Amino acid sequence: MLRNLGFGLALVLFLILAFETAHAGAPAGTYWTTFTLPKAPDCINDICMQSEIRRVSIIEESTTEILGDCEFQDSDFAESPSTRDEWFWCERHLDTASGNTEIKISSKQANLPILHVYYMSKSIAGIWFESLSHASDQVVHSPEGASYADPYQNSELKFAGFKQLMVDTKKMGIKLAQEATQALVEAGYEATMRRYDNGVGEIAVYNTKDARVLMEEKILAKKGWKVRKSATRGNLGTYDRLRLMVSTPFGISLIPQYRISNETPVSGTITVMREDGADVEDAVVTVNGTQLSPAADGTGYDVSSVALSPGQAVKIEVTSATQPKPIKIDLTCPSSFEISSPADGSRAVGSPLNVSWSAPITVIPDYSFIPAPVAGQYACKSGQTYSRMGTGDWFKRLTLGQTQVTLDDVSKDCDESFIEVRIASETAFDENYNMAICYLHQRVKLRGAHH
């Protein structure tokens, strides 16, 4: 009987010791932050009493979510009444010399929280004083000894609390925000759009410890969203929609006759990029229903496969999975005209050379970066070699209404040469200032002076 009683007492003692040991501090493998909290004022508005810290709320500052609460009863150790996988352990230590209290918060997650501190009266039931406090050294410490001033930017770490993702669609429509939400759902997250107001969708992602930055990198960035750094911290992310930018940087060129080297009847590229200059890998670009292939030099999409003629309407359409609706730009290429002087096939006479054509110049592009209408000697062939190719200093800019120009720099020492008048269409824009322009290069051929 005594032996059984002794065994029972030993078992009870073992369980008590085990319980005390389990609650003596946070377990191994936790992240931790420390808070140094001053003594509360003894008197407020002529009312005086003693107080001590008995309760702290652990708050994710970015979203103001309360992650857990610790209440110190008759012990300097407490655990938060939370789900076990987001447990918080709290330790309290009073420095009697300074009157400061140090609180250590430990967790399996790497949040850098703030504390809502409750100073409870020692003489009556109730709260005497409250304060908010940041971590003393402004870092969270890892189990391995590392310190993180901004742990939330580490995609490998885990974080308690929901993730709040604000997507600014720039008023391009709720569909964009819905697509961002659906992308998170398809990636396996419990995501829901809580509201959409004034062009901004608020997406909440629940029941995951994945870092907010991981969702940015793996999902949102691929859908065309860019982090707005000034409004992103902790579990809160704010994102701007990167719209697509479409343009014909050097125009679509039509060269009906007298092409040289590798020139084609239709040439030019259509570029598609995001506002930050990033490529759009899934863009589909069509011109008048013909899908374009990427240019060999990687500068955009090659227009040369499309059959176009002077005066023809051109419909450019660009689609992408990250674009809520197709980008559409409509323009009309310049109508055909005739160079009446010098006559096609005539002999070169050198400078000065009077050049005239049948229709006045009606369009001068409004932007300095868009080439203006010009006239000049485009190419000079000697043997098998062409020189003066392009639109250099020997070309003259044309003005509105002009139908003739005198060229002062025309070589007659060519086996053959081309005189070119290049005119432009109106610059076409869509509602987001994507732009396109078309040029018509009209040429006549001159024989050399000795041919």
CATH classification of the domain holding 284? 2.60.40
User: Are residues 135 and 45 located together in one domain of the fold?
Assistant: yes
The answer on 410 and 345 residing in a single domain is yes
pLDDT of residue 5: 40
Residue 213 — very low, low, confident or very high, per pLDDT cuts 50/70/90?
A: very high
Checking 366-370 for CB contacts under 8 A at 24+ apart, the result is 366/427, 367/427, 370/251, 370/424, 370/427, 370/437
Number of domains in the chain: 4
Taking residues 293-305, report their average pLDDT.
91
In a domain, 16, yes or no: no
> What pLDDT shows up at residue 168?
93
* Nearest CA among 187, 37, 16, 31 for reference residue 110: 31
Selected residue with higher pLDDT from 196 and 173? 196
**What is d(CA 90, CA 56) in angstroms, rounded to the nearest whole number?**
9
Whether the pLDDT of residue 21 is over 50: the answer is no
Asked which of 288, 305, 332 is the last residue of a domain, the reply is 332
Mean pLDDT, rounded, for 436-441 = 95
pLDDT at 83: 55
CA gap 157, 142 in Å, rounded: 10
Res 23 pLDDT > 60: no
Question: Which residues lie closer than 8 Å to 241 by C-beta, 6 or more apart?
Answer: 167, 168, 169, 170, 172, 176, 224, 225, 226
For the chain, the farthest-separated pair of C-alpha atoms sits apart, in whole angstroms, at 135
Contacts of 42 (CB under 8 A, 6+ apart): 48, 49, 50
Mind listing the pLDDT tens digit for each residue in 55-82?
A: 999 999 999 999 999 999 889 999 986 5
Same-domain check for residues 225 and 130: no
What span, in angstroms and rounded, lies between the C-alpha atoms of 169 and 79? 42
Would you place residue 14 in the very low, low, confident or very high pLDDT band (cuts 50, 70, 90)? very low
Q: Is residue 263 part of a domain?
A: yes
Residues 167 and 55 in one domain: no
Same-domain check for residues 300 and 357:
no
Q: For 203, what's the count of Cα atoms within 13 Å in the CB-facing half-sphere?
A: 28
Of 281, 316, 332, which residue is a domain's last? 332
Does 17 score more than 50 pLDDT?
A: no
- Whether 22 maps to a domain, the answer reads no
Q: Does 134 lie in the same domain as 44?
A: yes
132 with 174, same domain: the answer is no
For residue range 105-149, list pLDDT tens digits in order: 999 999 999 999 999 999 888 999 999 999 999 999 999 999 999
15 assigned to some structural domain: no
Query: What's the pLDDT score for residue 289?
Result: 96
Q: What is the DSSP letter of 123?
A: S
Nearest to 339 by CA among 435, 423, 413, 434: 423
For 194, the domain range is 163-241
Mean pLDDT to the nearest integer, 363-377: 85
Report the mean per-residue pLDDT for the chain: 88
| pLDDT at position 170 | 78
pLDDT interval class at 15 (50, 70, 90): very low
Average pLDDT over residues 281-286: 91
State whether 272 and 229 are in the same domain: no
Side-chain-side CA neighbours of 269 within 13 Å: the count stands at 13
- Residue 366 confidence (pLDDT) above 80: no
Decide if 157 is inside a domain. Answer: no
Looking at the chain, the whole-number percentage of residues with pLDDT higher than 70 is: 91
Reported confidence tier of residue 171, pLDDT bands at 50, 70, 90: low
**In a domain? residue 100:** yes
pLDDT at 18: 37
Evaluate if residue 12 carries a pLDDT over 60. no
**Phi, psi (rounded to 5 degrees) for 178:** -65, -40
Residues 34 and 144 in one domain: yes
Which tokens is 94 given?
Answer: 């009073």
Among candidate residues 300, 332, 364, the one where a domain is terminated = 332
Residue 216's contacts (CB-CB under 8 Å, 6 or more residues apart) are 225, 227, 237, 239
Residues 352, 315 share a domain: no
